């Protein structure tokens, strides 16, 4: 294994705590309207619509749409599920949708990225759009060198084209790039494309009852405890 | 005019001194081989092949190719012009081509971008590739929030699709974005797309005998003396 010239990262769950952050933003919106819906249940349902929405695009049933738009559509479904449609007009829904731009990084992330940035190229390889990843980076202080991922490939992970597009955009061979994720399926897909792989467990990403991705389940090049481990 | 939510920048000439830097890298390569060719004439000829190479792509005669590859092809032509082909093998040409990744920022650029980054999104809208802009940013310490420009549009400025692609990638309307350049033609194209515009003179970009772009020649929203002026 050679030293990677670039590290690309899954973001939702791997770098930022989407569940706690979305629940917080939902709770704020609910509080202003005296809504008693459990904000964690709301966040979980909203996130639950994520993969099916992307699957329509991955399967060719729909052209590429930025994740911001999928989140916004999924928000409508989520509000309907919880019978909250009457409480939110279009503008308020647009505002609530920006919850995905205000996701707190896990405690090891910002320092770890700064350490790694001195040694290699660092970039997200997320299903989030360029706009979403840019705003999330400004919110959380993530010092990316560039924004890669779904939008430059016009498709969604784990489609191989996304990993290949990231390598091509950096003019690097797949084996010169390491994919870092808290999700084994993301690493299986990256490894099949020839990338190096690193797993980091985020055991409460999905809440206290999380049952998947608690441990590595593949032959990953590295299993790390914190992002700064990649700099050593 | 509203306050821009994002500033996008031309890079070669506007943010970095390509001529002095490429001449320096050429001089280093020449010195090792006792070549007496004027490195400034070499840099100027190499840069002179830039626009014609892009024009083939803009006109539809060739699909999108990253600028790194155009630079590399143009290097071959430049070496031929100066009868230097025998002195450089393929690997040495690849190395010399990385001169474009080592361009010094003008003195006001790094501080100015840091000041502006606290207030708005900042990104290159260059004809350079994502790879080239990423490596150039690491070399010069340019704190971009993301890398926009030709590659995400798969075409070259001043084609309108490039400016529109940058706005779309940020999910902003053109009038929420300001294009910053030392080249009037770049600003004319951006303005025609509805973007705000800012001109900054770089009167020695093309050397001491520069005759164009010494002053603004359009109705630009701002004419600035240094990048930090945009933060005020």
**Does residue B187 surpass a pLDDT of 90?**
yes
pLDDT score at A178: 98
Give dist(CA B164, CA B195) in Å, integer: 9
Q: Tell me if A66 and B170 make a contact (CB, 8 A cut-off).
A: no
pLDDT digit string (tens) for B86-127?
999 999 999 999 999 999 999 999 999 999 999 999 999 999
Tell me the C-alpha distance between B122 and B113, whole Å.
Answer: 7
Cβ contact B170–A138 (<8 Å): no
pLDDT-based confidence at residue B64 (cuts at 50, 70, 90): very high
Report the C-alpha gap between A129 and A11 in whole angstroms: 11
Decide if A125 touches B, using CB distance below 8 A. Answer: no
Q: If we measure between CA atoms, which residue out of A28, A152, A26 comes closest to residue B129? A: A152
Give the span between the Cα atoms of B228 and B99, in whole angstroms: 27
Length of chain A counted residue by residue: 232
Reported as a single tens digit per residue, the pLDDT across A116-137 is 999 999 999 999 999 999 999 9
Q: Which residue of A has its CA nearest to B117?
A: A138
- Tell me the DSSP string of A64-107: ---HHHHHHHHHHHHHHHTT-GGG--HHHHHHHHGGGG-PPBPT
Contact across the interface for A145 and B151, Cβ inside 8 Å: no
- Collect all residues of chain A within an 8 Å Cβ-Cβ radius of residue B151: 152, 169
Q: Which domains are delineated in chain B?
A: 6-17+103-231 (3.40.50.1000), 18-100 (1.10.150.240)
Establish if A65 touches chain B: CB-CB under 8 angstroms.
Answer: no
Element (H, E) at A194: none
Q: Is A175 at the interface with chain B, CB within 8 A?
A: no
- A131 touching B, CB under 8 A? yes
**pLDDT tens digits for A143-188?**
999 999 999 999 999 999 999 999 999 999 999 999 999 999 999 9
**Tens-place pLDDT, residues B4-34:** 999 999 999 999 999 999 999 999 999 999 9
- For an interface test with A, give the residue of B132, B154, B171, B176 to mutate (most A CBs within 10 A): B171
The verdict on ipTM greater than 0.85 is yes
Percent of chain B whose predicted confidence (pLDDT) is above 90: 99
Strands (DSSP E) found in chain B? 6-9, 16-17, 104-105, 121-126, 148-149, 177-181, 196-200, 222-224
Contacts of B65 in chain A (CB under 8 A): none
Residue B138 contacts A, CB cutoff 8 Å: yes
Note the pLDDT of residue A226: 98
CB nearest B147 (choices: A147, A171, A172) = A147
Q: Provide the mean pLDDT of chain B.
A: 97
What are the phi and psi torsion angles at A121 (to 5°)? -75, 135
Banded model confidence at residue B38, pLDDT cuts 50, 70, 90: very high
Q: What is the chain B residue with the closest CA to A120?
A: B138
Name which of B60, B64, B95, B90 is nearest B76 in CA terms: B90
A190 band by pLDDT with thresholds 50, 70 and 90? very high
For the cut 80, the answer to whether the pLDDT of residue B133 exceeds it is yes
Minimal C-alpha gap between B167 and chain A (Å): 10
Dihedral in degrees, nearest 10, Cα atoms A109, A111, A112, A115: 150
**Residue matched to tokens 């990084």:** A105
* A164 and B CB contact within 8 Å: no
Task: Please state, in angstroms and rounded to a whole number, the distance separating the CA atoms of residues B131 and B125.
Answer: 13
CA distance B181 to B9: 6
Q: What is the per-residue pLDDT for B1?
A: 72
Residue A41 CA to residue A36 CA, distance in Å, equals: 11
Residue A160 half-sphere exposure, CB side, CA atoms within 13 Å?
6
What b/e string do you get for A152-175 counting C-beta neighbours within 10 Å, with b at 16 or more?
bbebbbbbebbbebbbbbbbbebe
Please report the pLDDT score of residue A1 as a whole number.
72
pLDDT digits 0-9 by tens, A210-224: 999 999 999 999 999
Comparing CB atoms, the residue among A151, A169, A170 nearest residue B169 is A151
Q: Does B145 touch chain A (CB under 8 A)?
A: yes
For A42-93, the pLDDT digits (tens) are 999 999 999 999 999 999 999 999 999 999 999 999 999 999 999 999 999 9
**Cα–Cα distance for residue pair B161/B180, rounded to 1 Å:** 17
């Amino acid at each position: 294994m050679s030293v990677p010239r670039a590290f690309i990262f899954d973001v939702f769950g791997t770098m930022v705590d989407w569940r706690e952050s979305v629940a917080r933003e939902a709770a704020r919106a609910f509080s202003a309207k005296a809504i008693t819906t459990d904000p964690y249940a709301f966040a979980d349902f909203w996130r639950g619509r994520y993969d099916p929405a992307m699957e329509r695009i991955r399967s060719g049933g729909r052209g590429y749409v930025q994740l911001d738009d999928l989140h916004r559509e999924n928000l409508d479904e989520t509000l309907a599920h919880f019978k909250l449609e009457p409480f939110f007009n279009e503008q308020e829904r647009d505002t609530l949708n920006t919850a995905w731009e205000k996701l707190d990084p896990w405690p090891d992330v910002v320092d770890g990225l700064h350490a790694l940035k001195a040694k290699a190229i660092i970039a997200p390889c997320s299903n989030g759009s360029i706009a979403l990843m840019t705003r999330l980076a400004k919110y959380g202080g993530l010092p990316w060198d560039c924004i890669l991922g779904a939008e430059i490939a016009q498709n969604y992970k784990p489609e191989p084209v996304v990993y290949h597009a990231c390598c091509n955009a950096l003019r690097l061979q797949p084996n010169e790039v390491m994919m870092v994720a808290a999700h084994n399926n993301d690493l299986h897909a990256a490894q099949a494309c020839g990338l190096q792989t690193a797993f980091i467990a985020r055991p409460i990403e999905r809440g206290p009852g999380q049952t998947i991705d608690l441990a590595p389940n593949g032959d990953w090049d590295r299993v790390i405890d914190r992002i700064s481990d990649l700099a050593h």
